[in-house]
Amino acid sequence: MTATFSRFGNDLHAGRRTVPIVRRRRTWYLISLVVIVILAALALLRGPNLGIEFTGGSEFQVAGVSDTEQSTARDIVREHVSDGEPKVTVLGQDTMRVQTEQLDSTETALLAEELAAAYGVSTADVSTSYIGPVWSGDITQKMLRGVLVFLVLVAATMAVYFRNLKASVAAMSALVHDMLVTAAVYGVVGFEITPGTVIGFLTVMGYSLYDTIVVFDKVRENTSGLTAQTRATFSDQVELAANQTLVRSINTSVVALLPVGSILGIGALLLGAGTLKDISLALFIGILAGTYSSIFLAPGVLVDLRRRESGIAAHTALVAQARRSGEVSGVAGDRGLVRTDEDPDGLDTDEDPDGSDTDESPEDTQRARTAPRGGAR
């Protein structure tokens, strides 16, 4: 199986085989849109589960309990707090965490004593903490400010690196997709949103951008000297770049998902390490979404943003003219142009009306990338 996958990757890189990534980009757009809408609707029905760091309130942790029945803690809290339902979770194997609305020192001490008595532990085993609304509001503002600054700096850096603002916009579009999917899944699952979740989201941003930059760097390499030949259009070369980096992206994601999946599955779910759930779920879903968007969304968005540029549009017209006349420039070898009778998008035309030319074989696309530079016809 490994040898088969290796041959598949080699064929993609050499252009002998192709996955319709750019040509079927509207399909990938639609899949993403449907998934986001469904997940967002389910998440909104459930509502966000904000942690105490963002809402403020009092927290009690009862350690060394033999019975982790959550209803016991809820009944005790309801006797002291009339408004709001307490959040009761199990941490590890023998620790109960109870979060309530803001309580004063007297109420906090009394509730701690009753929780200790109910679970058969001493009051020393019950730790209490309090987070005020001012501190929680400050944390929320800093989180949003940090994310905004991160996005602005990354967008500017990518625009400078690729010398093209549209490449930065395409990458940021894929990043927004990843954040929406991760946030929606988080809301559907109902895990508590904590500062660890924010750390996970920032990590996902970095991973998603890294994968997209790898694809776009290959695009820049393939499109260098694009107008010196009339065999492959801009969209053809972007398609080739996406296919050439496909296996690499999958391998990188699998390697990254293995430890994260272990933390989520074994550490958080089996061992009950509640403090690991927030960051591990965000990382796991974010890596999956980032891999998908870097391969199937970002290249297509880049093509849609740039296909109407005067230089690219004119070159696409030259390629179409060369194909109609049966002449191709800037290509070594004696093999003729391989044409297809049907457009991959279902249009029986020589050129996809959206600018994504699809009338050549992967072999032709690869030869165009490696061919000597010639004059455009």
The CATH number for 239's domain is 1.20.1640.10
What is the span of the domain harbouring residue 73?
A: 57-131
pLDDT of residue 31 exceeding 80 = yes
Q: What total of structural domains would you count in the chain?
A: 2
Of 279-283, 299-303, 341-345, least confident by mean pLDDT is: 341-345
Query: Given 99, 131, 163, which residue is the final one in a domain?
Result: 131
- Residue 34 has a pLDDT of 96
Task: Tell whether the model's pLDDT for residue 297 goes beyond 60.
Answer: yes
Whole-structure pTM value: 0.72
* In a shared domain, residues 141 and 167: yes
| pLDDT tens readout for residues 225-271 | 888 888 889 999 999 999 988 888 888 888 888 888 887 777 666 66
CA distance 200 to 158: 22
- Considering the domain boundaries, does residue 354 fall inside one? no
Does residue 187 sit in the same domain as residue 216?
yes
341 in any annotated domain: no
370, part of any domain: no
Residues 281 and 238 in one domain: yes
Select from 240, 271, 306 the last residue of a domain: 306
Q: Are residues 166 and 222 in the same domain?
A: yes
In terms of domains, do 37 and 65 share one? no
Q: Which residues of 94-124 are buried (b: 16+ CB within 10 A; e: fewer)?
A: bbbbbbbbbbeeeebeebbebbbebbebeee
Indicate whether 211 and 287 sit together in one domain. yes
Assigned domain for 75 exists: yes
Given 276, 306, 336, the domain boundary residue is: 306
